[in-house]
Structure 1
Amino acid sequence: MRSPQDGPGSGPDTDGPLAEQLLRLTRRMHRAQKRHLEPLGITPAQSRLLRTVTHFPEPPRMADLAQRLEVVPRAVTTLVDALEANGSVRRVPDPANRRVVRIELTEGGRATLKALRTARRAAAEDVLAPLSTEQRAVLGELLADLTGAPDRRC
């Protein structure tokens, strides 16, 4: 195995195949989530926005969501439009500045979030089924190291 001090071409390329495996795994997980979310009438991007809304102490502004999701504001508008149409969120005026619009989760949105958690767990189980409990724990630790985030089971 190459050490970090080794330069390019100093040994076998282990990073390229590993990167390809990670991409395949990501695509597989995305397909599994999409399959499990479809009966709920929600896309993975809408799911992500709904979950993101819950991480704010108060209803976020569209710009806050765009920043947190690392997308352009127009993408958030499209997602909010769809989620508002299905009753998961609503636009509310900011009490301190009536020109600012905030995005608030509805009761329907909270019910959708519960269903999303179940769907995400089922999608993860589809992908992780071949792994033992110990292997899953190791994978979780490795992914936490790679993402720089704590290992959260959500």
Structure 2
Amino acid sequence: MNSPDADGLLAEQLLRLTRRVHRIQKRHLEARGLGITPAQSRLLRTLAHYGSPPRMADLAQRLEVVPRAVTTLVDGLEASGKVRRVPDPSNRRVIRIELTDDGRLALRELRGARRAAAEDILAPLTGEQREVLGGLLDTLIDGGTAAGTGPGDAGPVAD
């Protein structure tokens, strides 16, 4: 049985790893000159999972943020030409958000940056250690449930 101190140490290690992942991803994003924040990157990845353009409320729910936060992210991405607001064809009062061609191109660059960051982070691990880590992370992410059904899960992110 794990002691509270051991669990606290594991939690601290996970938080430190998360911060390291964010720093490395940010460095790779900046090196590619995309001018996209990690939060905007997450919104673009989430948008890519929808078959048809979602409403901002749908994005807020999926991202587990308040709608105002999505508005701010969309404003920035729209100003840079990566997304656009479009009226819903069945209800013109509803606004949907869709990726532009520039947004799709940015997503490809983001995927490259994420892969490069993952390579940096995972470099010290052997192939076998990576498989074990992947299994452990799946267990923690799923929380003992079926894969990809947790709240706020944007589904698998294909890189």
Percent identity between the two aligned chains: 73
SS class of match (1:28): helix
How many residue pairs get matched? 146
- What is the letter of the counterpart of residue 28 of structure 2? H
- Say yes or no: does 1:76 pair with 2:70: yes
TM-score (norm: length of structure 1): 0.90
Match of 1:33 among 25, 30, 34: 25
Offset of residue 13 of structure 1: 2.6
- Flag the 1:100–1:152 CA change in 2: closer, same or farther, 3 A: closer
> 1:7: which partner in 2?
none
CA distance in 1, matches of 2:48, 2:65: 18
SS class of match (1:14): helix
Question: Where in structure 2 are the equivalents of 1:20-59 lying within 5 Å?
Answer: 20-38=12-30, 39-59=33-53
- What is the letter of the counterpart of residue 5 of structure 2? D
Q: Deviations over 1:115-149 (max 9, x none)?
A: 00000011111111111111111111100000003
> 1:138: which partner in 2?
132
Q: Deviations over 1:38-81 (max 9, x none)?
A: 22110110000001011112100000000000000000000001
SS class of match (2:5): coil
- What is the letter of the counterpart of residue 146 of structure 1? L
Offset of residue 112 of structure 1: 0.4
RMSD between superposed Cα atoms in Å: 1.6
TM-score (norm: length of structure 2): 0.87
- Which of structure 1's runs of 4+ aligned residues deviate more than 4 A? 150-153
CA distance in 2, matches of 1:100, 1:152: 27
Unaligned 5+ runs, structure 1: 4-10
Unaligned 5+ runs, structure 2: 149-155
- What is the letter of the counterpart of residue 84 of structure 2? R
- Flag the 1:152–1:53 CA change in 2: closer, same or farther, 3 A: closer
SS class of match (1:65): helix
- What is the letter of the counterpart of residue 141 of structure 1? G
- What is the letter of the counterpart of residue 61 of structure 1? R
Question: Where in structure 2 are the equivalents of 1:54-133 lying within 5 Å?
Answer: 54-133=48-127
